Amino acid sequence: MMATLTFYLAGVIAVIATLLAITRSNPVHAVIYLVNSFFALALLFYLLGAPLLAAWELIIYAGAIMVLFLFIIMMLKLSPSSAEKGLMATSGQWVPVVLLAVALAGCTMLLTGLDSLTARGIPRWHATPRDFGYSLFKEYALAVEIASFQLLFAAVGAFYVGRPDEPKDSRGGA
């Protein structure tokens, strides 16, 4: 029962945080709200029996990809005038962030402390890292290799696209 309640709470938080994220005029605020939404999504993943995916949602999405977004936004040095004219007011934006964060922390407390449906806060059916790794590297070994190729190509492509400008005339000789 408590797990079901937590699911709906986390779902509402995810929708609210996403709604706030897509209406921000400042991309930095949008990224912070999106991190909030990813925390709620990680809780949903955990409740649906994917604890490893919940951890990776936080590590990869919230920890790596969103920080990459923040780095790029900082690198671009967007002037305030180049930001879109706001769809909503920009003051007091930390209030919903704090509210959402407190609600998420409350959900996690509920899940770990008071849950009666599940034993020790773990959903009844869940994929243990052992099952997960076995399935990933046994049945999907080829796909893992292809994904690693894909990441390599992406790294090379990002390096190529993001290289510093070269003089125009040297391109003809290359």
Binding site residues, another protein, CB under 8 A: 3-4, 7-8, 11, 14-15, 18-19, 21-22, 24, 27, 30-31, 34, 37-38, 41, 44-45, 47-50, 52-53, 56-57, 60-61, 64-65, 68-69, 72-73, 75-76, 78, 82-84, 117, 123, 125, 127, 131-132, 135-136, 139-140, 143, 147, 150-151, 153-155, 157-159, 161-162, 165
Residue 8 one-letter amino acid:
Y
- Rounded Cα gap, residues 174 and 167, in angstroms: 12
Residue type, 121: G
Least distance CB 123 / another protein (angstroms): 7
Q: Which is nearer to another protein, 45 or 103 (CB)?
A: 45
In the complex, least distance from residue 92 CB atom to another protein, rounded to whole angstroms: 21
Neighbours of 47 (CB within 10 A): 22
Q: How far is the CB of 63 from another protein (least distance, A)?
A: 12
Distance CA 46, CA 99 (A): 22
Q: How far is the CB of 97 from another protein (least distance, A)?
A: 16
Q: Are 66 and 35 in contact (CB under 8 A)?
A: yes
Q: H or E segment at 142?
A: helix 141-161
Query: By C-beta, is 106 or 148 nearer to another protein?
Result: 148
Q: Which residues contact 147 (CB under 8 A, 6 or more apart)?
A: none
